[in-house]
Amino acid sequence: MKILVSQDYQSLSQKACGFIEEEVNRNPASVLGLATGSTPLQTYHEMAEGHKTRAVDYHNISTINLDEYVGLGESDPQSYHFFMKEHLFDKVNINQARTYIPNGLADDLEEECSRYEQLIDQIGPPDLQILGIGQNGHIGFNEPRTSFKSETHIIKLAESTRKANARFFKSLEDVPKSAITMGIQSILKSKKILLLASGENKAEAIRSLLEDPPSDDVPASALCFHKNVTLLVDKEAYKKVEYLRGDELNHD
Ligand code: F6R
């Protein structure tokens, strides 16, 4: 795993945007794997700026999102469909017919999981997958003790995840109890992975990822088995890491 430590969230987001722009400029028909949540917000903002000011062209890309809450449709402001439109899809010249997010309103959720996994294989796998990390080490919504072999599935959200995400809802009761998520194996199919972590509340998850042996207690540790992962982390999220990894480490 390559590790790039940034001063702060702004610098991390600019770097993440740089990775994405480089990928899209090199291959205009790139498939991007996308995440939601607070962490990639500034990256998406930088991408929108890059589209306006650097003429980065997203017209031919496809996108595959990691997850969606069960029970929320695209017109629901808390859904990840809504989030993606608001923060990225409506801000760049992406062809929205080529943006894919699991359907949290599907009548048959198991069938939706199979459909989505097939889609990942048909459209993807992503050339570049963007990931955030939960305070409990989850990636996508793969909560601790999800099998590293999992494909797209329904997950019961950990109470700590529901509490962490309650900030986006009116109350904790409104946070859905389950989600559809790409599995860990689905994520590992990606050709390149960019893991973003910012802020002190991610410091323990990052320490554990880098210092503890891989284990399903920390789903992100499955990334140790992938050959092309870059961790973009800011100083706050990196501050509990004591074990330095020599030339894998870069500060700005
Ligand atoms: C979002 C996702 C989650 C988040 C994680 C961190 O699509 O899959 O794994 O990346 O919960 O969320 P934030 O960035 O809000 O701290």
**124: number of Cβ within 10 Å:** 21
- Residue 195 CA, ligand 1 centroid: distance in Å: 11
Predicted local confidence at residue 247, as pLDDT: 63
Active-site residue, from 46, 112, 117, 143: 143
* Contact criterion met (CB below 8 Å) for 135 and 160: yes
Alpha carbon distance 235, 99 (integer Å) = 33
Which residues in 70-213 belong to E strands, given as ranges? 99-100, 128-131, 153-156, 178-181, 192-197
Beta bridge partners of 99: 63
Q: Is 67 considered catalytic here?
A: yes
CA-proximal residue: ligand 1, atom 12 (nearest): 37
- Which tokens sit at 199? 């802020």
Q: Is 136 considered catalytic here?
A: yes
pTM: 0.97
The one-letter amino acid code at 92 reads: V
Predicted local confidence at residue 48, as pLDDT: 98
* Contact criterion met (CB below 8 Å) for 155 and 142: yes
Active-site residue, from 138, 151, 234, 236: 138
Secondary structure letter of residue 173 according to DSSP: G
Q: Is 138 considered catalytic here?
A: yes
Q: Which atom of ligand 1 is nearest to the CA of 40?
A: 14
Residues lining ligand 1, CB < 6 A?
35-39, 66-67, 132-134, 138-141
Taking Cα atoms as reference points, which of 87, 77, 88, 197 lies closest to residue 138? 197
Q: Is 22 considered catalytic here?
A: no
The pLDDT tens digits along the chain (252 residues) read: 999 999 999 999 999 999 999 999 999 999 999 999 999 999 999 999 999 999 999 999 999 999 999 999 999 999 999 999 999 999 999 999 999 999 999 999 999 999 999 999 999 999 999 999 999 999 999 999 999 999 999 999 999 999 999 999 999 999 999 999 999 999 999 999 999 999 999 999 999 999 999 999 999 999 999 999 999 999 999 999 987 776 677 777
- Residue 249 CA, ligand 1 centroid: distance in Å: 24
Mutate to test the pocket of ligand 1, among 45, 133, 178 (most ligand atoms within 8 A of CB): 133
